[in-house]
Structure 1
Amino acid sequence: MSNDVEKSKDGLQGEHVDIDHVELKQNPDLMREAFDGENREHEMGVWEAAKTHPWACFWAFIMCFTIVMESFDMFLNTNFVALTKFKEVYGVAVAGSTEKVIPTRWQSALFQSGQCGAFIGVFLAGPITNRIGYRWTCILGLILMNATIFVSFFANSLAVMVVGQALEGVPWGLFIANSPAYASEIVPLALRGACTATLQMSWSIGSIIVAGACYCYNHRQDDWAWRAPLALQWMFPTPLLILVFLAPESPWWLIRRGRKEEALRSIKRLGKEKEEEAHQALAMMERTIEIEKEQGGNPSLIDLFKGTDLRRTAIACFCYAGQNFAGNLIANQATFFFEQAGMSSDRAFQLNLVNSCLQFVANALSWVITAWFGRRTVYLWGTATNITLLIILGIVASIEQNNSTNLAQASLGILISFVFAGTLGPISYTIISETSSVRLRALSTGVGRAAYYLAEIPMIYLSSKMLNTTGWNLAGKCGYVWAGTACVCWILAYFFLPELKHRTYREADILFNRKVPARKFKSTVIAVDENE
């Protein structure tokens, strides 16, 4: 074992090391340690886990905070189409209007180009992560991010800006594929929901900064009206790169690579400082990895679509793609939505800032919600609430319009965003990170996010078409469309979404291997000594 570990160190994390893990099932002492480690995970409450593992929470947040760059850029583009000077330079005149507008095709291109780049990035993330680890993959993405921002910043046409967004999208894909996986692997079981939910909080932080910057620069009469907000992107990558370099690697990834000693050091850095607890956690991880190892060798994309892993992949894809069908695109295009709902440009930017701050509050509330309620419960009730609100939005937009109905549409848009940010958004990341097997996690989160982009790209076009005055000009009537798609999501979730709260990765493996129906996951008992 020691020789193999040395080999892996010399390979600078790059070369795969095939190591036979300790046969835990034939070693009573190590099995006992694995039992104790898993029991300790189940017994630990949220507050106790947070007090004893503050560094694990910190490093999980840092990795999740990389998502702020995707959020920042995505919300920036949706604000640009409502920015006065940007419309003046790149917009076209519309009959009956004193203001220019960005044509629908360019709106869609600006919104979609980053997602197209990210689509490539998420497929690259799995193989790269399996080879060099979560930390070095993230560092690579941050270096690329620093470089690609130059293209957007110096762009002098919409075409060049679209290319810049596409290039920036590649590192976004690396971040979004790895962040939920890394966060779920380094924190105790009780904190998984809260820590993976910080991904949605990073989205809100990005949108708050963008909303504030665009509101401040909306009245500028030069190119800095949009170049200054673009330049603000450079404040993220370098500080994050330093912090990620200092972060510990996921012990699960290290054990899979046969680097047991490094995994033990990582476990201690993450909060289990006592030797006994650290070894128990190590044994628990080794046991789970050995069980999964019996199902296949080196992970590949094809494995995601074989046997029980196909079901797990489908759930990850559904949760990610479903985010686009329950009102989320109203939140992502909030400023433009407020303008189409009858608000002035200044008021639209003000409401967008309020909306972003309320989303942050909702994200914080989601920590309490995930601690008290199951993943399935939060998803179903959150979706049902937004279906109701979306139908009401459609009704309000269908009656005769005046200042009161305009304000009502804007308020409902904010409320829909608030509900999404407190339920559907954060809980989706938790479900995705818990559903995939340890062996395929890096690949599964990437493919799941790819499903998100596959759904989002046409939905962005549809959303722009519905809101734009040069398109269908539906304003709040789009609520009927999103309510219909959200209903489909609710039905699919009711029948196929399992409950994995308080389940270790070993228990999740067993439940899926036994093909337990989704609605029986919560009630099925898995003993601590079961391996199959």
Structure 2
Amino acid sequence: MSTAIGEPKEELHQRVAQVDTNHSDVLINADLMNDAVDGENREHEMRIWEAVKSHPWACFWAFVMSFTIVMESFDMFLNGNFVALPAFQKKYGVVVGENAWAIPTRWQSALFQSGQCGAFVGVFLAGPVTTRLGYRWTTIWALVLMNATIFISFFANSLTLLVVGQALEGVPWGFFIANSPAYASEVVPLVLRGACTATLQMSWSIGGIIVAAATYGYRAGVDEWSWRIPLALQWIFPTPLLILVFLSPESPWWLVRRGRKAEALRSVERLGPRHTTENATQTLAMMERTVEIEVQQGGEPTLLDLWKGTDLRRTTIICLMYASQNFAGNLIANQATFFFEQAGISPDRAFALNLINSCLGFVANAGSWFLTAWFGRRTIYLWGTAVNITLLVLLGICASISQNNATNYAQAVLGIIISFVFAGFMGPISYSIIAETSSVRLRALSTGVGRAAYYVAEIPMIYLASKMLNPTGWNLAGKCGYVWGGTALVCWIMAFFFLPELKHRSYREIDILFNRKVPARKFKHTVIDVKDNE
């Protein structure tokens, strides 16, 4: 009732008529079709700053949902720093020299992999649960679970129990990472999709900065609190985020898919400008049009639909983009402190460099907002990967020559630059591509399965990364650059042939391009008429 107070009679009538119209009429009702066309044209014509000014709340709620990723990031970086903490090494490690200890490779891998195994379960649960409950309530329940599972890790008194705690914490991580890119891409206008989905990588950097600062402060600790206090810091995130997510609007795209048009219209109004109802009804009609086109291609979404028809191609691209995040040198950033130590840097200086590395990653993430405005998704990914391939090979060469203080610092600097490039190019743009590639009907499922592909690739790669760096393993230090350079080259080749350009494309246009089986390199220049409904 309160939302209608003060509305002009004609706008109120338009609002009621839109809600009362049957969902399936959008493709045959001329008025609704005109609204849908006008809504899509308006999104195409909108400029970035205009969209930010008119949709500040949409940007805010997208950032809130994306910020849930900070918890997975926090734990991933924390485990990477645990193995470099002297007190933790002495408590749980084996002697590798005079007054020197190291965590055995199998336990390093277990600490890194356990959370990812839990997240692997979480992402498969996320799709069906989100399809039924929506992004808000699924995330709320995941945050409650996150609060509970932190207790196990905090009170763990053995590596075994710590590994179990990390595995259980991983389950809600899976919900966060599956839902965040999908929600962020659905609540903001087309022109802001790239920047808002790129904030997921920024959340990773924020988690890394907090961990780097905490472990740097406790690096000289001699008792168990040097790692228990950083673990306790995890509790600063779930409850505030739970309150904010509870207050957030549900994705209007999800509400339209569920046939809840009145709620979808209210959600659109909360996310957009408040001064006009006409824009909201046009946006709702645009959403209905896209959803109805997809409904005609299939009924209630299931996991099997991801592997049928043109959705198979879309799912494959999403899986490859997610998996490729593990092959372009990013795992060096996840174990940065330990990498610096193995490159010959003193422990104190290694922790300081890790803090610098995390802060630079944040700066790179902020820079990615401008990159997404200026360049296409495909362009950013290909050039960023090419730069990192070059840097990784240089890292390997630097580690292969006669070692001294200069080469040690050269390896450390190259490691930082590689992390910086990933944080500014491939990392954030991957989330934009992932969120845009999936069909609206299957988005909750496809982002979950895509993230599962990430974990399938990451779990063995974590073991490989630990094996390459650990002095009880292969002890390669910077020579791992040869390995990661080779895997990054494979990613570049795959992207060159299969990655389409999706910038400035509405979800309807993306559906049509995939349905027409347009080759990836022709997506950018293919013209789609605004009245096409195929």
**TM-score by structure 1 length?**
0.96
Q: Offset of 1:22 from its aligned partner?
A: 3.0
Task: Indicate the residue corresponding to 1:140 in structure 2.
Answer: 141
Question: What is the rounded CA distance, in whole Å, between the counterparts of 1:86 and 1:101 in structure 2?
Answer: 9
Q: Offset of 1:121 from its aligned partner?
A: 0.2
Task: Indicate the residue corresponding to 1:16 in structure 2.
Answer: none
Q: Offset of 1:272 from its aligned partner?
A: 3.5
Task: Indicate the residue corresponding to 1:265 in structure 2.
Answer: 266
> What amino acid is aligned across from residue 292 of structure 1 in structure 2?
E
Task: Indicate the residue corresponding to 1:515 in structure 2.
Answer: 517
Task: Indicate the residue corresponding to 1:244 in structure 2.
Answer: 245
- TM-superposition CA deviations, 1:294-341 (whole Å, max 9, x none): 000000000000000000000000000000000000011100000000
Matched position secondary structure for 1:437: coil
Task: Indicate the residue corresponding to 1:9 in structure 2.
Answer: none
Query: Cα gap change, 1:20/1:305 in structure 2, threshold over 3 Å: closer, same or farther?
Result: farther
Task: Indicate the residue corresponding to 2:15 in structure 1.
Answer: none
Matched position secondary structure for 1:349: helix
Task: Indicate the residue corresponding to 1:295 in structure 2.
Answer: 297
Aligned residue runs from structure 1 range 380-391, under 5 A: 380-391=382-393
Task: Indicate the residue corresponding to 1:156 in structure 2.
Answer: 157
Task: Indicate the residue corresponding to 1:6 in structure 2.
Answer: none
Task: Indicate the residue corresponding to 2:338 in structure 1.
Answer: 336
Task: Indicate the residue corresponding to 2:378 in structure 1.
Answer: 376
Question: What is the rounded CA distance, in whole Å, between the counterparts of 1:254 and 1:225 in structure 2?
Answer: 46
Aligned residue runs from structure 1 range 40-189, under 5 A: 40-94=42-96, 96-189=97-190
Task: Indicate the residue corresponding to 1:416 in structure 2.
Answer: 418
Mark the runs of 5 or more structure 2 residues left unpaired by the alignment: 1-20
Question: What is the rounded CA distance, in whole Å, between the counterparts of 1:111 and 1:97 in structure 2?
Answer: 27
Larger CA deviation: 25-34 vs 168-177: 25-34
Question: What is the rounded CA distance, in whole Å, between the counterparts of 1:22 and 1:109 in structure 2?
Answer: 51
Matched position secondary structure for 2:131: helix
Larger CA deviation: 426-435 vs 212-221: 212-221
Is residue 31 from structure 1 mapped to residue 48 from structure 2 by the alignment?
no
Which of 315, 322, 343 aligns to 1:320? It is 322
> What amino acid is aligned across from residue 204 of structure 1 in structure 2?
S
Question: What is the rounded CA distance, in whole Å, between the counterparts of 1:74 and 1:302 in structure 2?
Answer: 31
> What amino acid is aligned across from residue 308 of structure 1 in structure 2?
T
Task: Indicate the residue corresponding to 2:8 in structure 1.
Answer: none
Aligned residue runs from structure 1 range 472-483, under 5 A: 472-483=474-485
Task: Indicate the residue corresponding to 1:12 in structure 2.
Answer: none
Question: What is the rounded CA distance, in whole Å, between the counterparts of 2:279 and 2:228 in structure 1?
Answer: 52
Matched position secondary structure for 1:22: helix
Is residue 217 from structure 1 mapped to residue 218 from structure 2 by the alignment?
yes
Task: Indicate the residue corresponding to 2:14 in structure 1.
Answer: none
Percent identity reads 78
Question: What is the rounded CA distance, in whole Å, between the counterparts of 2:273 and 2:299 in structure 1?
Answer: 30
Question: What is the rounded CA distance, in whole Å, between the counterparts of 1:26 and 1:152 in structure 2?
Answer: 57
Question: What is the rounded CA distance, in whole Å, between the counterparts of 1:118 and 1:272 in structure 2?
Answer: 37
> What amino acid is aligned across from residue 72 of structure 2 in structure 1?
E
Question: What is the rounded CA distance, in whole Å, between the counterparts of 2:99 and 2:312 in structure 1?
Answer: 54
Question: What is the rounded CA distance, in whole Å, between the counterparts of 2:99 and 2:469 in structure 1?
Answer: 18
Mark the runs of 5 or more structure 1 residues left unpaired by the alignment: 1-18
> What amino acid is aligned across from residue 476 of structure 1 in structure 2?
G
- TM-superposition CA deviations, 1:160-193 (whole Å, max 9, x none): 0000000000000000000000000000000000
- TM-superposition CA deviations, 1:417-452 (whole Å, max 9, x none): 000000000000000000000000000000000000
Question: What is the rounded CA distance, in whole Å, between the counterparts of 2:187 and 2:387 in structure 1?
Answer: 33
Question: What is the rounded CA distance, in whole Å, between the counterparts of 1:475 and 1:282 in structure 2?
Answer: 54
> What amino acid is aligned across from residue 178 of structure 2 in structure 1?
A
Task: Indicate the residue corresponding to 2:502 in structure 1.
Answer: 500
Query: Cα gap change, 1:387/1:465 in structure 2, threshold over 3 Å: closer, same or farther?
Result: same
> What amino acid is aligned across from residue 149 of structure 2 in structure 1?
T
Question: What is the rounded CA distance, in whole Å, between the counterparts of 2:526 and 2:108 in structure 1?
Answer: 49
Task: Indicate the residue corresponding to 1:8 in structure 2.
Answer: none
Matched position secondary structure for 1:100: strand
Task: Indicate the residue corresponding to 2:353 in structure 1.
Answer: 351
Q: Offset of 1:499 from its aligned partner?
A: 0.2
Question: What is the rounded CA distance, in whole Å, between the counterparts of 2:388 and 2:105 in structure 1?
Answer: 27
Q: Offset of 1:25 from its aligned partner?
A: 2.0
- TM-superposition CA deviations, 1:75-114 (whole Å, max 9, x none): 00000000010001000011x4531100000000000000
Q: CA RMSD in A?
A: 0.8
Q: Offset of 1:51 from its aligned partner?
A: 0.6
Is residue 199 from structure 1 mapped to residue 200 from structure 2 by the alignment?
yes
Matched position secondary structure for 2:100: coil
Question: What is the rounded CA distance, in whole Å, between the counterparts of 1:222 and 1:92 in structure 2?
Answer: 17
> What amino acid is aligned across from residue 192 of structure 2 in structure 1?
L
Q: Offset of 1:20 from its aligned partner?
A: 6.4
Question: What is the rounded CA distance, in whole Å, between the counterparts of 1:337 and 1:369 in structure 2?
Answer: 29
**TM-score by structure 2 length?**
0.96
Q: Offset of 1:26 from its aligned partner?
A: 1.3
Question: What is the rounded CA distance, in whole Å, between the counterparts of 2:137 and 2:29 in structure 1?
Answer: 34
Q: Offset of 1:218 from its aligned partner?
A: 1.0
Matched position secondary structure for 1:93: strand
Is residue 227 from structure 1 mapped to residue 228 from structure 2 by the alignment?
yes
Question: What is the rounded CA distance, in whole Å, between the counterparts of 1:356 and 1:215 in structure 2?
Answer: 12
Question: What is the rounded CA distance, in whole Å, between the counterparts of 2:118 and 2:419 in structure 1?
Answer: 26
Question: What is the rounded CA distance, in whole Å, between the counterparts of 1:479 and 1:111 in structure 2?
Answer: 20
Q: Offset of 1:221 from its aligned partner?
A: 1.3
> What amino acid is aligned across from residue 351 of structure 2 in structure 1?
F
> What amino acid is aligned across from residue 469 of structure 2 in structure 1?
L
- TM-superposition CA deviations, 1:189-237 (whole Å, max 9, x none): 0000000000000000000000000010111111100000000000000
Matched position secondary structure for 2:223: coil
Question: What is the rounded CA distance, in whole Å, between the counterparts of 1:289 and 1:182 in structure 2?
Answer: 16
Task: Indicate the residue corresponding to 1:394 in structure 2.
Answer: 396
- TM-superposition CA deviations, 1:452-510 (whole Å, max 9, x none): 00000000000000000000000000000000000000000000000000000000000
Question: What is the rounded CA distance, in whole Å, between the counterparts of 1:279 and 1:422 in structure 2?
Answer: 37
Question: What is the rounded CA distance, in whole Å, between the counterparts of 1:363 and 1:449 in structure 2?
Answer: 20
Question: What is the rounded CA distance, in whole Å, between the counterparts of 1:372 and 1:97 in structure 2?
Answer: 54
Task: Indicate the residue corresponding to 2:442 in structure 1.
Answer: 440
Which of 458, 461, 475 aligns to 2:460? It is 458
